[in-house]
Homo-oligomer: A and B are copies of this chain.
């Protein structure tokens, strides 16, 4: 670790841990060990310990983690105790699909508005969400306390949209346009590449008998990995 930055892979994993802990709370469990958590949800226990160690000492020797406490801590670390208001830019197929995405309704993210440049779309409502004129983005963002923007426009328009939302003071942007974007340092840009998930499936299909475990090297190499993981 040359840098002290927490990587997105780490925060993504914290999100996953949080989901797992929520499941365990629902089931009425009180404590769980990193091994127990790993086994139950197909995670890596060394990775769990390492990820959590960035943020503090949550585990209790011989007990493991107090589930509700750890859930609350992760919620706070991820900034999820506060509501976030999301603007979706682009009221095409993907944008309207996202406005309607049931997953968001179960979180503390709420879609505040769709934005588009097409006058035929402006004023319409999709899944309870109004489509506004992108020209008025800055004003509406301020009025509706929007703090996250989702870019769902065709790739050639994405950079322009990004600059517009950044100018309006938005610091967190999720980009679905499959194109690299340039961004100011104080804006966090996350590009969602749906092909990565497909490639993961491709890996699975490439294994003989559809198994996940066939591409490994010799035993000696496996042993070395084990040591790395156990530190």
Contacts and interface: CB of A to CB of B under 8 A. Distances in A.
Given A178-B101, A204-B172, A231-B231, A148 B198 contact: yes
A98 to B, nearest CB: 7
Interface stretch (A9-17, A60-68, A115-123, A128-136): A9-17
Nearest to A77: B215
Contacts of A84: 198, 201-202, 205
A199 interface: yes
A80 to B, nearest CB: 6
Contact of A79 (B4, B80, B174, B206): B206
A147 B210 CA distance: 12
Interface in A46-89: 46-47, 50, 53-56, 76-80, 82, 84, 86
Residue among A50, A173, A200 with the highest chain B CB neighbour number at 10 A? A200
B178 A4 contact: no
B6 A215 contact: yes
A76 B84 CA distance: 41
Interface in A12-33: 12-16, 18-19
A229 interface: yes
Given A78-B199, A204-B188, A212 B6 contact: yes
A205 B228 CA distance: 33
A222 B4 contact: yes
A216 B4 CA distance: 8
A86 B198 contact: yes
Nearest to A229: B1
A6 to B, nearest CB: 6
Given A16-B196, A205-B147, A178 B103 contact: yes
A202 B79 contact: yes
A115 B119 CA distance: 31
Interface of A: 1-9, 11-16, 18-19, 38-39, 42-44, 46-47, 50, 53-56, 76-80, 82, 84, 86, 92-94, 96-98, 100-104, 106-107, 109, 147-148, 154-155, 171-174, 177-178, 186, 188, 190, 192-207, 210, 212-213, 215-217, 221-222, 224-229, 231
